[in-house]
């Protein structure tokens, strides 16, 4: 299977910045590299939308995935809000039922198994845990596209976790597990 792993933000776009000044772009790039390596070890063809701290426009990310006929597109992020209280992870797809929904559910479940104390923020109104939005990369990518918000960088406890290389490796492992399970 051909995957495109998208580490959100990069370059002049740091994404969210946590209370201790850690940058979303850096943490998600690390997770994306681990996910790519895990999928490659499982025998998959994997490309990344960015390899380093560089800025890539949203339309370029989608055009890249579409141009190489990606079969799955996974975008990795860290959430943030104006309050330091919210926490947890979220998995997003485009609105309505799409082929991305079972992939998102599988990723969500694998993260919950790996991190039982990490809150899973859900929208079960349509029978599955994924949240839905018209995020650019979700609606402009031909392949089933999923966006994973790994944790809230605006929450000091979760920011510390995101800054921990071992935690990021475990998160990547959970994402890989969810992806591999969804292939069955």
In angstroms, the CA 13 to CA 97 distance is 31
The pLDDT assigned to 41 comes to: 98
Residue 45 three-state SS: strand
Any idea where the domains of the chain sit in the sequence?
Answer: 2-182
The pLDDT assigned to 184 comes to: 78
Q: Give, for all 184 residues of the chain, the pLDDT tens digit.
A: 999 999 999 999 999 999 999 999 999 999 999 999 999 999 999 999 999 999 999 999 999 999 999 999 999 999 999 999 999 999 999 999 999 999 999 999 999 999 999 999 999 988 999 999 999 999 999 999 999 999 999 999 999 999 999 999 999 999 999 999 999 7
For 2-182, CATH gives: 3.40.630.40
The pLDDT assigned to 164 comes to: 98
Q: Tell how far CA 122 is from the center of its chain.
A: 15
């Amino acid at each position: 299977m051909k995957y495109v792993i998208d580490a959100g933000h990069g370059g002049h776009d740091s994404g969210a910045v946590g209370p201790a000044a850690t940058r979303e772009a850096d943490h998600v790039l690390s997770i994306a590299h681990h996910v790519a390596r895990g999928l490659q070890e499982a025998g998959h063809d994997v490309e990344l939308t960015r390899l380093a701290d560089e800025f890539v426009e949203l339309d370029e990310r989608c055009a890249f995935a579409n141009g190489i006929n990606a079969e799955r597109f996974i975008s990795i992020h860290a959430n943030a809000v104006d309050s330091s209280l919210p926490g947890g992870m979220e998995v997003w797809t485009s609105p309505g039922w799409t082929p991305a929904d079972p992939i998102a559910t599988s990723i969500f479940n694998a993260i919950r198994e790996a991190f039982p104390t990490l809150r899973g923020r859900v929208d079960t109104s349509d029978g599955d845990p994924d949240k839905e939005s018209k995020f650019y990369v979700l609606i402009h990518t031909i392949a089933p596209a999923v966006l994973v918000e790994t944790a809230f960088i605006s929450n000091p406890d979760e920011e510390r976790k995101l800054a921990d290389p071992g935690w990021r490796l475990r998160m990547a492992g959970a994402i890989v597990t969810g992806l591999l399970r969804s292939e069955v």
